[in-house]
């Protein structure tokens, strides 16, 4: 499957997202809303007030999570790495909960981004920056430890205040249902910035995949490469959490699917992961709308179910390769 096919699949997912829901919107109504918007037409209001923001949120969050997952797996050389395993999402969630305790709930979208960035900084420190280099194994272990610590801190904060629990409900299971209230434009800019940094680091990370000693002998400053990668991950994960909450497993699924079609070079994998991540999240959101009408199942629940199956498949493949 080449990039044009992935783009075509994304367009199909986008059409399904705009048309399918508690109220089906025919393509004619969508075209009419785009060419001649009528504020008295309920179909037009649904399109611009609900469906289009959800589609945009799915594009931003899915694309960002897909690229963040591919970058994490390349950075740690861990095929099970995804945006939650290194504590980035947990850092964003903790910032939101602490903000609720401090009465800063209105600023939660920015708190999430700051929390993701601070978690990345903590990961850099714990990963060995002070000792002269950020080792791959140490980075993965530091991420898991940081994630466990931050999740424990969130639990304590939630138990302290019922208002914090109310604020955190959105962040427990990700969803696109609040898309119309999220800062889509600003987070799209943050996600694009993270994506550009990721693509710029693609060649360096391909070199780093040869091994620490080989990369260093070729003149690669591995510490700076990993630092840049963590900055990109913080931007991508922070943007995704801002618009959709902590969607899980998209960052795990997308890179593995992308590698099946994009070879071994990281830049094509990053681009394919972004497209596949957006397709997966948008389709999961559509599935969530139709399985329990007129209500819906959150997209994060659907991605967790599918991602769990992929996780088991990846673990089985790793075990078989280890035994071979």
Counts for the chain of helices (H) and strands (E), in that order: 15, 0
Domains, the chain, ranges and CATH?
3-323 (1.10.3470.10)
End-to-end CA gap in the chain = 28
Question: What does the buried/exposed string (b/e) look like for 218-235 if buried means 16 or more CB atoms within 10 Å of the residue's CB?
Answer: eebebbebbbbbbbbbbb
User: How large a percentage of the chain has pLDDT more than 70?
Assistant: 90
50-107: per-residue pLDDT in tens? Answer: 999 999 999 999 999 999 999 988 887 778 788 877 788 888 888 888 887 787 767 7
60-76: per-residue pLDDT in tens? Answer: 999 999 999 999 888 87
- Would you list the DSSP string of 99-154? HHHTT-GGGHHHHHHHHHHHHHHHHHHHTTGGGT---HHHHHHHHHHHHHHHHHHH
Lowest mean pLDDT among 134-148, 210-224, 280-294: 134-148
Q: How many CB atoms lie within 10 A of CB 308?
A: 13
Report the pLDDT value the prediction gives residue 191, as an integer from 0 to 100: 94
């Amino acid at each position: 499957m080449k990039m044009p096919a992935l783009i075509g699949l994304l367009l199909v997912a986008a059409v399904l997202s705009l048309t399918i829901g508690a109220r089906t919107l025919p393509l004619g109504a969508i075209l009419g809303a785009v060419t001649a918007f009528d504020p008295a037409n309920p179909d037009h209001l649904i399109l611009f007030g609900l469906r289009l923001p959800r589609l945009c949120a799915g594009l931003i969050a899915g694309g960002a999570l897909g690229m963040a997952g591919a970058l994490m797996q390349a950075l740690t050389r861990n095929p099970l790495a995804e945006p939650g395993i290194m504590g980035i999402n947990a850092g964003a969630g903790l910032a939101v909960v602490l903000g609720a305790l401090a009465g800063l709930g209105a600023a939660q979208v920015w708190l999430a981004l700051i929390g993701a960035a601070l978690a990345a900084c903590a990961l850099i420190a714990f990963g060995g920056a002070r000792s002269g280099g950020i080792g791959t194994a140490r980075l993965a272990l530091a991420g898991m430890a940081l994630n466990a610590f931050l999740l424990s801190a969130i639990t304590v904060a939630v138990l302290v205040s019922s208002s914090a629990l109310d604020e955190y409900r959105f962040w427990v299971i990700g969803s696109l249902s609040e898309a119309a209230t999220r800062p889509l434009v600003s987070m799209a800019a943050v996600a694009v910035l993270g994506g550009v940094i990721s693509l710029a680091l693609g060649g360096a990370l391909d070199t780093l995949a040869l091994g620490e000693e080989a990369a260093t002998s070729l003149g690669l400053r591995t510490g700076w490469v990993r630092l840049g990668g963590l900055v990109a991950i913080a931007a991508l994960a922070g943007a995704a959490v801002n618009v959709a909450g902590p969607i899980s497993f998209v960052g795990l699924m997308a890179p593995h699917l992308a590698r099946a079609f994009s070879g071994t070079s990281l830049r094509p994998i990053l681009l394919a992961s972004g497209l596949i991540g957006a397709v997966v999240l948008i389709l999961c959101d559509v599935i969530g709308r139709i399985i329990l009408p007129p209500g819906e199942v959150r997209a994060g629940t659907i991605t967790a179910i599918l991602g769990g199956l992929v996780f088991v498949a990846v673990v089985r493949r790793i075990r078989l390769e280890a035994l071979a």
